[in-house]
Amino acid sequence: QQPVQSPQAVILREGEDAVINCSSSKALYSVHWYRQKHGEAPVFLMILLKGGEQKGHEKISASFNEKKQQSSLYLTASQLSYSGTYFCGTEPNRDDKIIFGKGTRLHILP
Amino acid sequence: GAGVSQSPRYKVAKRGQDVALRCDPISGHVSLFWYQQALGQGPEFLTYFQNEAQLDKSGLPSDRFFAERPEGSVSTLKIQRTERGDSAVYLCASSEVSGGKTDTQYFGPGTRLTVL
């Protein structure tokens, strides 16, 4: 079951914050977040495993609510380099294949 | 070190032709994945190798699609008798650990296949 990402697209000014959500109808073991710029490879951001943990990397962090089968990606004080399409990938059980959402397009204006 | 590389980057084929897409994973990475990415969509799983063993090919859309990794490093995805619906970007990813699919996957830049 493909996870649902929201919003589909968002436009921000540099310095503003953004939240991207990823929801699944199935119980999840892990959530993977990637960013892809046009014509380039998806770049790994972080993996969250079940347990409600939150991870952070500089100004990008994420949470995983196992009970709600949801994950959110938080982009703080966005930079121009954050522009791209963000994909969440969900894994129902350990060692299942990752199922990616349709992506959220983020565009940062100067 | 070098990342995942794929060749060719672009491939144009006439309908009915066979194509072969190559993936060079990061050296030493045990796991290798192939994905298909349609325009405006997320990557969709095709198949998974652990070393030379193809452990999951449940995502291959038909028997026209075939993947191999004979020596546990380089992999080739072959599509026989291509159809217009096969047009997509084919992404390869590798991961370091042999613990299955729950590990960081490093993606290559992809091969954009256009079938005319």
Asked whether the predicted pLDDT for residue A50 surpasses 80, the reply is no
**Would you call B107 and A94 a contact, using CB atoms and an 8 Å cutoff?**
no
Residues of B in contact with A95 (CB under 8 A): 100-102
pLDDT at A106 exceeding the cut of 70: yes
Amino acid at A60: I
Name the residue type at position B36: Q
pLDDT at A94 over 80: no
Cβ neighbours for A58, distance < 8 A, ≥ 6 positions apart: none
d(CA A96, CA A15): 37
Neighbour tally for A2: CB within 10 Å: 14
Give the closest residue to B46 by CA, choosing from B11, B71, B21: B21
What number of CA atoms fall less than 13 Å from residue A76's CA on the CB side? 7
Q: What was the pLDDT predicted at A101? A: 96
pLDDT 10s digits, B63-72: 999 999 999 9
Q: Using the predicted structure, report yes or no on whether residue B1 has a pLDDT greater than 60.
A: no
- Best of B30, B49, B58, B107 to substitute, by most chain A Cβ atoms within 10 angstroms, is B107
What's the pLDDT tens digit per position in B18-34?
A: 999 999 999 999 999 99
B109 touches chain A (CB under 8 A): yes
Give start and end residues of each alpha helix (H) in chain A. none
Identify which of B74, B107, B88, B85 has the alpha carbon closest to the alpha carbon of residue B11: B88
A81 — phi, psi (to 5°)? -70, -10
Work out the average pLDDT over A1-23. 95
Q: How far apart are CA A82 and CA A70, in angstroms?
A: 22
**Residues of chain A found within 8 Å of residue B59, distances taken between Cβ atoms:** 97
Q: B-chain residues within 8 Å CB-CB of A101?
A: 42
